[in-house]
Amino acid sequence: MSTFPDRMFRSSGRLIAALGFSVVLLSVRASTPSHAWPQFRGPNGSGVADGALPPTQFGPTEQVVWSVEVPFSPSSPCIWDDRIFLTTFSDGQLETRCYDRADGRLRWAKQVKPDALEEFHRSDGSPAASSPATDGRRVVSYFGSFGLICHDFEGNELWRQTLPVVASAGKYGTGTSPILIGDLVIVSRDQHRRSSLMAFDLNTGAKRWEAHRPDTAGSFGTPAYWRNAGVEEVVVAASGRLKGYDVRTGEERWVVEGITGYVCTTPFAAGGWLYFGAWSNESMDSPFPAFEEFVKRFDRDGDGVVVHEEIPLDARDYYRGVDHNRDGRYTAEDWVANKAQAARSENTIIAVKPGGRGDITQTHVAWTYRRALPYVPTPLYYDGRIYYVRNGGQITSLDAKTGEPYYAQIPLGATGNYYASPVAADGRIYVASVPGKLSVVKAGGTAPELLHQVDFGSRILATPVLVGKHLYLRTATHLWAFANPTTP
């Protein structure tokens, strides 16, 4: 039998360990230097580069420091000190690459060859769609076809953790990126079946915990870190639900019901609150065609059922998300199943207050807003406001505490789809369209003031990176570095 001092000692040890874990988390975040962009959307996934002074005027022939050719993938760079890390896919090879920040020179490239490739959207996706993450000593890459692999800054492999090939919802491919929290690597593996949130040891790659998500299917967003009323949490959005999990154990702590049904964006914490906003075809206000119209358009043999091969090649990757049971046939039953999921979902942006446990839908959602929402780009919190852009090139700015719009649905003069998330520094918002136009908008005001707009003549799917006086941009064919000429 344990004595009281023994029990007290073990309890104190657990408390010390828990406190130590929190100290590690806080020290890691506090020590992220100004010359780093350590993960997708930068420091803590915020999209904001505090203290950075990137250029306002730039383009393919203006303020260029260097540009290098890179294979196409929609993943974004991460940066620490003098190194840029990038994931690529070419000739069946998945690669983690390291470039020199000074001149764009390729320092090293390390390949992994999976046994099989996940199915992915051929024009807008890639088996290397996930952005890498770094803590200043190691860089971790995640590939849905392979799993996790960790290198040091010289390209030496430290560990690998192979995982089953992902079968993503709609067969669109992986979209999520890993994040680092203290000594953990967090990966969301939401897929058609057997979804889960996983934590691995950053030092060894060993699995620390796994939280199964049986009610989840449609998610491509990256997890978010939130210090929620003193508790370290990982937040993930998918299939009509936003959930918070304990970082140390993977225990589910709370849920908000009724969000977007097919999630491409990422939650984010700012000003003590949590924010999430997205739109998708799976929700009730979707313009997706009725089944009868769909059959009339694509049923070539007149049998009342559409098979994958009957849809034109340039539309197949888009429509296969409607094949709810993934049997290669589009039937009325698929439409019924999708409608049922849509009934549980709503396109919205929400603000969540801290401190909730259990179902907090009615108790901790501070406000909601439902107009002109983004499909793929994650909204941005900057200086007390929320900014987001919808497909077609319309920008909206809301008060982060009330949800009231300062302005809404204002055209930027750059049409087309938007996949890159907006980022901010030095009073400016940077927004890139898929067709290749990058717009610089002055933050604040009652209407967006366009400071600069440039056409790269090449598709942009990756989120821009802001570090120091530089802006880094990955287009479909190149990695670019631009500098502010007025900054030392």
> For residue 10, what pLDDT is reported?
38
The CA–CA distances, whole Å, from 466 to 422, 423, 430, 438 equal 11, 8, 9, 14
> For residue 69, what pLDDT is reported?
98
> For residue 102, what pLDDT is reported?
97
> For residue 33, what pLDDT is reported?
73
* pTM for this predicted structure: 0.85
Residue 379 DSSP code: P
> For residue 132, what pLDDT is reported?
98
Tokens 């996706």 correspond to: 125
CA atoms within 13 A on the CB side of 342: 18
d(CA 381, CA 424) in angstroms, rounded, equals: 9
> For residue 210, what pLDDT is reported?
97
> For residue 325, what pLDDT is reported?
66
427: its two tokens: 């009073």
| 62 close to 104: Cβ distance less than 8 angstroms | no
380-427 pLDDT, tens digit per residue, is: 999 999 999 999 999 999 999 999 999 999 999 999 999 999 999 999
Query: Residues of CATH 2.130.10.10 domain(s) within the chain?
Result: 32-283+345-483
Residue 298 DSSP code: H
> For residue 326, what pLDDT is reported?
62
Q: Kind of pairing, strands 380-382 and 385-390? A: antiparallel
151-200 pLDDT, tens digit per residue, is: 999 999 999 999 999 888 777 888 999 999 999 999 999 887 788 999 99
> For residue 134, what pLDDT is reported?
98
> For residue 14, what pLDDT is reported?
40
Give every residue of the chain whose pLDDT is below 50, as ranges: 1-30, 283-286
The CA–CA distances, whole Å, from 141 to 144, 191, 220, 222, 319 equal 10, 19, 16, 13, 29
CATH of region 32-283+345-483, choose from 1.10.3720.10, 2.130.10.10, 2.40.50.100, 3.90.79.10? 2.130.10.10
